[in-house]
Structure 1
């Protein structure tokens, strides 16, 4: 997503710098920046606006993921099989539309869950 934003901002930013260096009025600059801000707002956000409903078990599991524990270590602490832990994590990743554990943690925290390290 950063590359999309960068591509959309690059030209207006260059025009703004060029305008300032030739003595153009700041009004032009603010107009360009408002235009860029509007374009960035239109970029679709991957995350759903609805907060995912994580079960207590999923929250417990993600708290252990936040501590960088392996599936085997998590299974041992929660008295589960390693397969069950892997299955839980897979479902959580799908539920929050994340591609990795760290992305899932970031998303879950962004939704307001207090999962600490």
Structure 2
């Protein structure tokens, strides 16, 4: 059973999502929050598998709430899906940096919301390579952006990181580099540890912010 918390300041949105989740086999809503602070408190109490987090909420916005849940010494293993009104919302990159596993537009179709929850639970990023790349490219193209140096990674890890950023799957990376799937997974796990990432989305952001293409 996938346990879900819904955080949104609009009761209608929370109610609609709750009905959908509670009527989907394998999913259950274990809490609702109307503010960011409530979302953090409920997450720490219920320790849900997935949190649907609106980016704009009173008291504490969704990005700050996500950071409180996903980062730090008392970080939870919960997966956070950011909910936003616009597909190029300025909060999205901040959400990824804070530890979110993906984002959805608020007018998402019911089956897309359910698929999204199951996607992040499987450890995958929620955005397709094309939209994600365009989103990050728009961010890193800003004139004031500073390139962030990568920590010490090996040459092979750098190659894997570039291919992840280009949207290749593990199978495709293994084929292109002529290595086994287990080797690719090992490199990705090491990159996640070194770059303090929760999933592949954060590796993509790290690659772009470090200047890799």
Relative to the length of structure 1, the TM-score reads 0.53
Alignment of 1:1-117 (within 5 A): 3=36, 7=59, 51-110=150-209, 113-116=210-213
- Number of equivalenced pairs: 76
Checking the alignment, whether the CA contact within 8 Å between 1:75 and 1:81 is kept in structure 2 is yes
Moved over 4 A (4+): none
Structure 2: how far apart are the matches of 1:72 and 1:98? 21
Distance 1:58 1:87 in 2: 10
* TM-superposed deviation, 1:51: 4.3
Moved more, 79-88 or 51-60: 51-60
Give 1:8 shift.
5.5
Equivalent pair of 2:170/2:185 in contact (CA under 8 Å): yes
Deviation at 1:7, TM superposition (A): 2.7
Q: Deviations over 1:35-89 (max 9, x none)?
A: xxxxxxxxxx97xx98411221111111111111111110111010000001100
Task: Pick 1 or 2: higher relative contact order, CA cutoff 8 A, min separation 6.
Answer: 1
CA offsets 1:76-103 (integer angstroms, 9 cap, x no match): 1101000000110011001111011111
- Structure 1 pair 60/73, CA: closer, same or farther in 2 (3 Å)? same
Aligned residues: CA RMSD: 3.0
* CA–CA separation in structure 2 for the residues paired with 1:115 and 1:51: 10
Query: Whole-Å Cα distance in 1 between the matches of residues 211 and 149 of structure 2?
Result: 17
In proportion to residue count, which structure has more helix?
A: 1
